[in-house]
Structure 1
Amino acid sequence: MSTLSTAVHIVAQEDVHKRDRAEVLLVCWERTGSDTFTVNALWPSQHSFYQTADGLYDPLLFVETVRQNVPLISHIGYDVPIDHHLIWQDFTCEVNPSALQIADAPAVIELRVSCSRVIRRGSRMAALTMDVVALRDGVLLGTARARFTSNPPALYRRLRGSYGDLDRALAAALPPAPPVDAELVARARESDVVLSASDFPHRWLLRSDTAHPILFDHPVDHAPGMLLLEAARQAAQALSSSTGLASVRLDAKFSRYVELDTPCWILAEAELPDLTGRPRAAITALQAGETAFSCSVACQAPALSRVA
């Protein structure tokens, strides 16, 4: 394990697994304890994919910020090699809409990260739980918890079988079907829609566009976790048939890999409101008759989301 250091370090692009430097949200990090870290992020006033609405940042920009911490903390905190595969098991997050207001200058986000339930395979980290508390100008912006595993290349290839061949997996990927109307899922561009219509109500086909510059920033042999979370957000939006809802809480479980060569169905069902009265939707990804991903999405109405 890396030794404790109070020095502040600049985030290296490779440590967040992004090919496009412009998509790196994390700026610097500092180790504050054996399993605790402080990471600073910078949010641009506008983002090409995580777009603003009602004068607020997209809540999934917070999710992507947390996601970038998964590889960063693994590499700088637990000496996980760059070529190891990091796979989500569970992910929960909640954002505070009152801290998402867009200002003229980029937003500086402080992330306090603590790690627990660390499992090691020999000297290497094999799994851990990461808790994140995010602050903006001293105000709570959001919290998140992620449980993920780290698999060396040889083990990953054994787990994935023929799907472990990246070139083969990408060559076999189904072409994305036509998108649903972008307005239905609160998207400005059809290219950012990840759902395709079906003959059944509240059921869509997942669009895995491997050419998408953000969701497939770097080649992967399965549907990325951020694609599935975006599908959950869009399905919850489509189910509500109300414009401008913000997905303020996600409770997700990643049960199986979602393959690129097989249709994956996204199902949405209304749940009872949460304890604060926010509407919720239960989203399920089914592939080959098996549940691969499930997510409860709690939303907040535009009138409640706006900041005075």
Structure 2
Amino acid sequence: MGAAVAACAASVGARVLWCPAGRSSATVRRAEKAGLEPVAELRELLAQAEVVLSLCPPAAAEAVAREAAEHRFSGVYVEGNAISPERTERIAGLVGRSARAVVDGAVIGSPPVGGKATRLFLSGPADATSLVAGLFAGSSVSTPVLGEEIGAASALKVAYTTYQKASRVVAALSYGLAHHHGVDQALLDVAGARPGSYLLETDYIAKTAMRAWRWAPELEEAADTLIASGLPDEVMRAVATTLRRWGTAKDNAELTVEQALELLAGGNNSEFS
């Protein structure tokens, strides 16, 4: 997602920097394909950049922000990760000691490649959100603004994640149950009477499994946000636990539906926390 969003900014004329230090060969290939400009040291990158867009796994969000703060980044910092509003506020307090402004961001949609479009929702100071929106004007990334409150964009992302990703897991469990009892085709026939049901998208079970390493922490963030909102968190905790059964499927594009169901039934195969 990060490389795809960055490529959209580069495609409409923005100079987009990235730091290859400590990154994998796969990341290097994605950055090169996206047309990003490498900068050897993070300190140098932060000194040159007017805007930093943080898109990383939820668990790394504060570590990334801490690095920016340690180097006293003075531009606009966009916290674009799938984290709770409370964590976003903490990050804003940390980075805001030196940054000109902090913007709360939420990416909703598929990576903007192959003709697909996505939305980067923004909330924060008007001049800063306007600057960020301008970087993507005319690209496949639209930038709706939700107002000036830090946490608003994060709340939207978590609310959407709560339904969309949990529904994918519930659909996988439903299909796995029917498959185990030999009534999977009958289940699909019943689901076909309700167009748009995730039950009909059986190919997505394998995609869910390969993304589980990212989704489980996102749903823990959702659970934390539910508790902070006075709502029960048990469902999201359970879904996150279920996703951890797919720990060995990380980024396995060759995984089949049958293999994903075997992992799901095989107990705790977690390789991530």
TM-score interval for Structure 1 and Structure 2 normalised by the shorter chain: under 0.3
TM-score, normalisation: structure 2:
0.25
Highest RCO, 1 vs 2 (Cα 8 Å, sep ≥ 6):
1
Greater Rg over alpha carbons, structure: 2
